[in-house]
């Protein structure tokens, strides 16, 4: 392991070059107590530099680790993060919109999940209330976080419990999610073969729409399941929020695996079409023989790196993000992270802990 005084330098445009690289670099710095400099932050994205969502994450880690910061401001291309103590439990309310005026994107679940590996090693219970989007396409959403991500993390020995106080649908929404993170010791996973099917579940949520919209979605999903020989336990929920919205999440749990598919409603799109899209996304993973979907594979990597035991996880699609996060972790620890499979194809993730 590198010494405390040695500054690790990370190019934020490496690989996928997005915010996940940046968050992982800071989390690894906090966990290993090694200072880090990240330059060309979000260099692989259209909008580069530190964003309001990033500042909320930075200041949460600063509070936990009493970190010294250089460059922690909006649009900064470079940040130096020097942790001064091992992670400590925190109780924080995080609102990325406090750091920049106007409506700016920020996902409450991504922010919470990025902190989870660090705060699980803090030696006490942490309580995070995050304000931001809770339902948005192509991002972590509340129902997948609660039913898929946290379920998989419990298999890894990480325990967190969450509650949605207010849903937030779409860009720059101000939903609110409260999560309690317990002190945990991650363990390895042997999820190469997923085993027998345990259950298939789904949640259809609507807000400020006629109740019949949610009911139609549930009935259509049950029909789709029947056509494919699946019994789906559908949970239709009517929510109250500041704006109308609809979201569908479908998941399946196996003996040694879990994954999901999602879709978000839009103005003028029938609920049956939203259900069809979510089901199609779900089946892309479900019909494979792989343990986890590609998005969950990314989320499981950092806890696997912290575990004392080896991990093997199969996924139906290797992503650029997965490859990038493995590279980031190896800048901090002499750990073996092997990803077998080409980007965009099925793959196998192997993590061998530091001896």
pLDDT in tens, 204-219: 999 999 999 999 999 9
- Residue 5 pLDDT level (bands cut at 50, 70, 90): low
- Return the half-sphere exposure (C-beta side, CA atoms, 13 A cut-off) of residue 327: 18
CA distances from 286 to 29, 250, 293 (A): 36, 10, 8
pLDDT of residue 2: 41
- Taking 80 as the threshold, does the pLDDT of residue 4 lie above it? no
State the average pLDDT over residues 14-28.
98
pLDDT of residue 355: 67
pLDDT in tens, 303-353: 999 999 999 999 999 999 999 999 999 999 999 999 999 999 999 999 998
pLDDT of residue 169: 97
State the average pLDDT over residues 42-55.
96
pLDDT of residue 130: 98
* Percent of the chain whose pLDDT exceeds 70: 98
pLDDT of residue 85: 97
Owner of token pair 């479908």: 250
List the single range of 46-50, 132-136, 277-281, 351-355 with lowest mean pLDDT: 351-355
- Taking 60 as the threshold, does the pLDDT of residue 152 lie above it? yes
Closest by CA to 106, choosing from 30, 52, 179, 63, is 52
Q: What is the C-alpha separation between 187 and 165, in angstroms, rounded?
A: 31
8 Å CB contact between 240 and 165: no
pLDDT of residue 101: 80
pLDDT of residue 353: 86
pLDDT of residue 70: 98
DSSP state of 292: B
pLDDT in tens, 182-206: 999 999 999 999 999 999 999 999 9
- Taking 70 as the threshold, does the pLDDT of residue 220 lie above it? yes
State the average pLDDT over residues 28-48.
97
Q: Average model confidence (pLDDT) for the chain? A: 96
- b/e map of 58-78 (b: 16 or more CB within 10 Å)? bbbbbebbebeeebbeeebee
């Amino acid at each position: 392991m590198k010494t405390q005084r040695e500054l690790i330098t990370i190019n934020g445009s490496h690989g996928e070059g997005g915010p996940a690289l940046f968050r992982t670099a800071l989390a690894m710095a906090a966990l290993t107590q090694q200072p880090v400099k990240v330059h060309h932050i979000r260099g692989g994205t259209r909008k580069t530099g530190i964003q309001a969502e990033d500042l909320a994450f930075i200041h949460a880690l600063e509070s936990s680790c009493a970190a010294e910061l250089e460059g922690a401001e909006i649009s900064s291309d470079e940040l130096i993060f020097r942790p001064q103590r091992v992670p400590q439990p925190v109780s924080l309310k995080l609102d990325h919109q406090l750091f920049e005026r106007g409506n700016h994107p920020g996902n409450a679940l991504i922010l919470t999940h990025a902190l989870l590996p660090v705060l699980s090693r803090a030696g006490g219970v942490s309580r995070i209330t995050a304000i931001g989007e809770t339902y948005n396409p192509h991002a972590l959403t509340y129902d997948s976080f609660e039913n898929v991500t946290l379920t998989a993390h419990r298999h890894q020995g990480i325990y967190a419990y969450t509650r949605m106080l207010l849903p937030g649908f779409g860009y720059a929404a101000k939903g609110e999610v409260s999560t309690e993170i317990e002190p945990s010791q991650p363990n390895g996973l042997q999820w190469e073969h997923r085993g027998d099917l345990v259950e298939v579940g789904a949640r259809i949520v609507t807000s400020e729409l006629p109740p019949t919209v949610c009911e139609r979605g549930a009935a259509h999903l049950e029909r789709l399941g029947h056509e494919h020989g699946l019994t789906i336990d559908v949970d239709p929920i009517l929510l109250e929020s500041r704006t109308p919205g609809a979201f569908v999440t479908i998941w399946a749990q196996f003996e040694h695996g879990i994954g999901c598919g999602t879709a978000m409603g839009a103005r003028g799109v029938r609920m049956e079409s939203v259900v069809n899209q979510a089901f199609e996304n779900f089946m892309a993973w479900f019909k494979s023989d792989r343990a986890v979907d590609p998005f969950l594979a990314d989320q499981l990597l950092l806890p696997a790196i912290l575990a004392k035991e080896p991990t093997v996880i199969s996924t139906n699609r290797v992503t650029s993000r997965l490859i990038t996060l493995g590279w980031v972790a190896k800048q901090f620890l002499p750990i073996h992270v092997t990803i077998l499979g080409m980007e965009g194809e099925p793959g196998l993730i192997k993590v061998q802990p530091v001896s």
